[in-house]
Amino acid sequence: MELESLRNSFNNYFHTNPEQCFFAPGRINLIGEHTDYNGGNVFPLAITNGTYALARKRNDRKIRMISLNFEEEGIVELSLDDLEYDETKGWANYPSGVTKLLLENGMEMTTGFEVLFYGNIPNGAGLSSSASIELATGVMLQELFQFEIDRIDLIKLCQKVENEYIGVNSGIMDQFAIGMGKKGHAIWLNCDTLDYEYAPLQLQNEQIVIINTNKRRELASSKYNERRAECEQALKEMQPYVQADALGDISSAEFEKFKQYLSTETLVQRARHVIYENERTEKALKQLKSGDLKAVGQLMNESHRSLRNDYEVTGKELDTIVEFAWKQDGVIGARMTGAGFGGCAIAIVKNTHMKDFISRLNDHYKEECGLDASFYTADVGEGAHEILS
């Protein structure tokens, strides 16, 4: 949808023009999955699809919000003075939570506001539509009310909204990628220190394609938290033998030496995934910087195998897509991306083979899983920002 038509929608709902327009991207993760909450490294990038927010200040303390993605729910009306989480508010809890935490952190907002959101990433598909609306709200409020907040602090605040207000115990990867994205670059991030480095993603004859399983995944679902708890348990059992505050501090050599102390095979599997995946992100950074895309593709394939066999978060739909992709000509690498349990896979595919790849994969997936996949090309875009016309 064009910005112009979003402006018209704003006008229809609020009978005036928006003062400012903002955009926050979605994200995909190249490699480094389920490592962020283990103090490890991730390697995500911001995409050019995401969430638009058009807004204006009001003269009173009311907040009025509409999402074109949930238009049937109509305008949600809140007040600056009552921003408690409320299940019946649905999607509006995200902007409400960000507003609440900004206020609690001393950001001054003297009036309410009106905002229209529109997202062109699918909801609940693992491309971080939630972190996207959080950062869109944060940047919007920062610019509307002209308060100062460091970008990394805003990212941390949005993660806190997700963890404490929404109640999803996720790591910092999504908010970081969406807040710090850079056109043409992936972001290598150490989630413990928050040291990061931009690595150019120079795709000349290839493109990254996002493949949505269209199997809805609920991140809040118990599996994600179950994996977190298993990782904490594995860490606890290894700590008497190795100096580590998180699984991300343990090398694969140390792991091989001390895995015998883990009490169950499941814990061995979970820790093995995290520790080797963490090392794969370091290799991927080196290889990407030296332009060895083929080697990065191999690491992506290894990552998926580890998520399938050891971490057990892929499931039939993602495995069907990724395993088929591995066998196709012109595919450099393929893996699930995000939390898993459905959601999206990504593949790096040569331009010359893309059309054929998509049509063959589509047929195969439908036959095996009875669902249609959706395909998007991932262009690497900027982090959350104001759209200046």
Q: Examine residue 170 and tell whether it contacts ligand GLA (CB under 6 A).
A: yes
CB 122 within 8 A of CB 338: no
**Which residue, 9 or 269, has its beta carbon nearer to ligand GLA?**
269
Closest-approach residue to ligand GLA (CB): 170
Residue in 39, 119, 171, 333 binding ligand GLA, rule: CB under 6 A? 171
Q: Is 77 helix (H, G, I), strand (E, B) or coil?
A: strand
Stretch that binds ligand GLA, among 50-58, 170-178, 240-248, 320-328 (CB under 6 A): 170-178
Compute the least distance from the CB of residue 34 to ligand GLA, in Å. Answer: 5
Q: Which amino acids are annotated catalytic? A: 174
List 21, 53, 135, 173, residue binding ligand GLA (CB under 6 A): 173
Taking residues 12 to 51 in sequence order and writing x for each that binds ligand GLA by CB under 6 A, - otherwise, the string is ---------------------xx-xx--------------
> Half-sphere exposure of 317 toward its Cβ, with a 13 Å CA cutoff?
21
Contact flags string 298-337 toward ligand GLA, x per CB under 6 A:
----------------------------------------
- Binding of ligand GLA by 250 (CB under 6 A): no
Burial 358-386 (b: 16+ CB within 10 A, else e): bebbbebbeeebeeebeebebbbbbbbbe
CA distance linking residue 188 with residue 180, whole number of Å? 11
For residues 339 and 349, which CB has a smaller minimum distance to ligand GLA in the complex? Answer: 339
- CB closer to ligand GLA, 27 vs 364: 27
Residue from 134, 174, 206, 317 touching ligand GLA (CB under 6 A): that is: 174
The count of chain residues that interact with ligand GLA, using the rule CB under 6 A, is 10
Q: How many whole angstroms separate alpha carbon 197 and alpha carbon 178?
A: 15
Token pair recorded at residue 22 = 């903002």
165 binds ligand GLA (CB under 6 A): no
Distance (Å, whole) CA 49 – CA 120: 6
- Least distance (Å) between residue 256 CB and ligand GLA: 23
- Please report, for residues 112, 140, 148, 174, the alpha-carbon distance to residue 77 in angstroms, rounded to integers and kept in the order given: 10, 18, 26, 28
Pairing of strands 62-67, 113-119: parallel
Q: Shortest gap between Cβ of 128 and ligand GLA (angstroms)? A: 6
| 3-state secondary structure at position 111 | coil
Could you give the CA distance from residue 167 to residue 117 in angstroms, rounded to a whole number? 22
Residue pair 4/388 in contact by the 8 Å Cβ criterion: no
Residue 339 interacts with ligand GLA (CB under 6 A): yes or no? yes
Show Cβ contacts of residue 196 under 8 Å, excluding neighbours closer than 6 positions.
Answer: 176, 180, 187, 188, 189, 190
129 binds ligand GLA (CB under 6 A): no
**Residues contributing to the site for ligand GLA (CB under 6 A):** 33-34, 36-37, 170-171, 173-174, 338-339
